[in-house]
Amino acid sequence: MSVGFGGPPIIEGIDLDVRAGQFASLIGPSGSGKTSILRVATGLLEPLRGTVELGVSRCRTSASCFQDDALLPWRTARQNVALGLRIRDLPPAEADARADHWLSKLGLAGYGDRFPGQLSGGQRSGWPSPRCWPCARSCCCMDEPFAALDAIVRTRITQELLDWVEREHLTVLLVTHDLEEAISASDTVAVLGHGPRATMRARHAVDIPRPRDVLEARRHPAFGPLLRTLWDDLTEEAASSPATADGAAR
Ligand SMILES: Nc1ncnc2c1ncn2[C@@H]1O[C@H](COP(=O)(O)OP(=O)(O)OP(=O)(O)O)[C@@H](O)[C@H]1O
């Protein structure tokens, strides 16, 4: 697959095969094209050449959550998070109870009646992700959904995501800069090379059984070696990138 915006392709010859039920993460340098791939996967962007298949063709029954997803300012925290569950036709009381549970995992127990404007940027940043999960019938695409969360909250909500994914048998494509998050959540981690014309550098299987406990996964013997491999991949990409000091020095 190739992707572009009118000029030369920003991504060339990417082959990203995600099987139904698989949890795949996509990592890579800033500007390498991760969000663009997600947009192609969800049908928001047409590839120049090729197609993306994510369990079902082009994720027709997908839900997606992007970095700049808006919260609805006239809805409370609970109503924002419960929106996906209500779209899924859960009875209001059940949707509210589940939304409160997710808010508590986001460190916002007791904040359900607050409006977005009454909370900090970090406090609001985790909502779009659980809001979108229930809308996914087969596949869920997420772009750095937990980037602004602190480590404890991030671990808790990632566990909620994994539990939901297991329960709903979802296919997931997650874009993240957090290598530990990528390994502990995924079955495979794809590494994009640097721009301006990115290609796929590597694809690694995560040999840790599912269902997973996020913290236990980090103690699994396969975790450390894969973390070092991903780090090496990204370090070498930075060293060869024309856009970084490392690459410029070569
Ligand atoms: N609408 C657009 N028009 C032109 N170029 C774009 C557009 N959107 C993205 N690009 C370019 O495509 C490249 C990839 O962008 P993309 O947002 O997919 O990268 P990314 O890997 O998700 O980056 P980050 O990790 O910083 O979020 C970048 O060089 C960017 O400038």
> How confident is the model at residue 77, as a pLDDT?
94
Q: What CA–CA distance (Å, rounded) separates 138 from 128?
A: 18
Q: What CA–CA distance (Å, rounded) separates 100 from 9?
A: 44
Q: Please state the CATH superfamily assignment of the domain spanning residues 17-240 in this structure.
A: P-loop containing nucleotide triphosphate hydrolases (3.40.50.300)
Q: Describe the crossing of helices 92-105 and 151-168 by its angle, rounded to 10 degrees.
A: 140
Task: Tell me the two tokens of residue 129.
Answer: 């992700």
Q: Which of 65, 225, 221, 207 lies closest to 129, judged by CA? A: 65
> How confident is the model at residue 235, as a pLDDT?
95
**ipTM attached to this prediction:** 0.97
Distance (Å) from CA 72 to ligand 1 centroid: 26
One-character DSSP codes across 110-164: T-TT--GGGS-HHHHHTTHHHHHGGG-SSEEEEESTTTTS-HHHHHHHHHHHHHH
Ligand 1 proximity of 36 Cβ (cutoff 6 Å): yes
Amino acid, res. 194 = H
Distance (Å) from CA 37 to ligand 1 centroid: 10
> How confident is the model at residue 227, as a pLDDT?
98
Q: Are 165 and 172 contacting, i.e. CB atoms less than 8 angstroms apart? A: yes
Closest residue CA from atom 3 of ligand 1? 5
pLDDT in tens, 15-29: 888 888 999 999 999
Task: Name the residue with tokens 């996964």.
Answer: 217
Rounded to the nearest 5°, which phi and psi values hold at 204?
Answer: -120, 135
CA separation (Å) from 49 to 6, 14, 239? 13, 10, 29
Q: What CA–CA distance (Å, rounded) separates 9 from 197?
A: 6
Which strand (E) or helix (H) includes residue 87?
A: helix 77-87
Which strand (E) or helix (H) includes residue 53?
A: strand 53-54
Task: Name the residue with tokens 């127990």.
Answer: 109
Q: Which of 157, 174, 148 lies closest to 107, judged by CA? A: 157
Ligand 1 proximity of 35 Cβ (cutoff 6 Å): yes
Q: Which of 143, 144, 165, 141 lies closest to 214, judged by CA? A: 165
User: What average pLDDT does range 148-170 have in this prediction?
Assistant: 94
pLDDT in tens, 84-142: 999 989 999 999 999 999 999 999 999 999 999 999 888 888 888 898 998 888 889 99
Q: Ligand 1: which atom is nearest the Cα of residue 195?
A: 29
Ligand 1 proximity of 112 Cβ (cutoff 6 Å): no
pLDDT in tens, 181-238: 999 999 999 999 988 888 899 999 999 999 999 999 999 999 999 999 999 999 999 8
* 17-18 and 53-54 strand pairing: parallel
Closest residue CA from atom 30 of ligand 1? 31
Percent of the chain at pLDDT > 90 equals: 60
Closest residue CA from atom 4 of ligand 1? 5
Question: Per-residue pLDDT for 246 more than 80?
Answer: no
> How confident is the model at residue 53, as a pLDDT?
65
> How confident is the model at residue 248, as a pLDDT?
55
Q: What CA–CA distance (Å, rounded) separates 162 from 154?
A: 12
Closest residue CA from atom 7 of ligand 1? 5
